[in-house]
């Protein structure tokens, strides 16, 4: 009986300690870590960095301009940076930071921020 309990609690603590390692970063966490300094805490393009930037970051809450972008374009610009779509290179490439799956999740998160979808 006692041994069983020790075993169970060992298993439980193994799970608790390994869970953070296994957990996938969510798009919200990634956005809040990597994007807000330029795109702003609310995604509205008002990040801390903008004072010194010659090209201002996209307002991701802007329904009209974000609707005009296809999901593929958003994916490409995140993966390869602004230069990939003839936009400012001040938008950095994230292809070596995120997997394609994480980038797709970020695109979905952008659709939440703009309350829009491709084409309206
Ligand atoms: C160093 C500042 C900076 C950081 C950090 C940054 N961006 Fe940007 N981003 C920009 C700028 C500047 C533009 C506007 C480029 C232009 O309009 O020429 C931009 C544009 C974009 C666009 C293009 C929107 C459009 O007009 O089609 C997307 C999508 C985007 N950023 C997503 C992200 C995501 C997601 C992250 C975090 C993983 C991120 N950005 C981090 C500066 C940044």
State pLDDT tens for residues 1-22: 566 776 767 666 666 655 555 4
The answer to whether 91 touches 77, Cβ cutoff 8 Å, is: yes
CA distance 27 to 30: 5
pTM here?
0.85
pLDDT at 15: 60
Q: Which of 34, 49, 57, 81 to mutate to test the pocket of ligand 1 (most atoms within 8 A of CB)?
A: 57
Exposure on the CB side of residue 82, measured as CA atoms within 13 A:
10
Q: Which of 33, 38, 49, 83 to mutate to test the pocket of ligand 1 (most atoms within 8 A of CB)?
A: 38
Q: What is the CATH number of domain 24-114?
A: 1.10.760.10
Q: Where are the domains of the chain?
A: 24-114
CA distance 102 to 89: 21
| Beta-carbon contacts of residue 116 (< 8 Å; ≥ 6 apart) | 63, 66, 67
């Amino acid at each position: 009986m006692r041994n069983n309990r020790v075993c169970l609690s060992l298993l439980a603590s193994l799970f608790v300690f390994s869970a953070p390692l296994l957990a996938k970063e969510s798009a919200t966490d990634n956005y809040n870590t990597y994007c807000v300094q330029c795109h702003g805490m609310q995604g509205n393009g008002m990040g801390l960095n903008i004072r010194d930037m010659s090209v201002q970051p996209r307002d991701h809450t802007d329904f009209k301009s974000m609707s005009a972008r296809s999901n593929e374009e958003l994916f490409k610009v995140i993966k390869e940076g602004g230069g990939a779509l003839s936009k400012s290179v001040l938008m950095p490439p994230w292809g070596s930071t995120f997997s394609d799956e994480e980038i797709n999740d970020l695109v979905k998160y952008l659709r939440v921020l703009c309350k829009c979808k491709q084409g309206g």
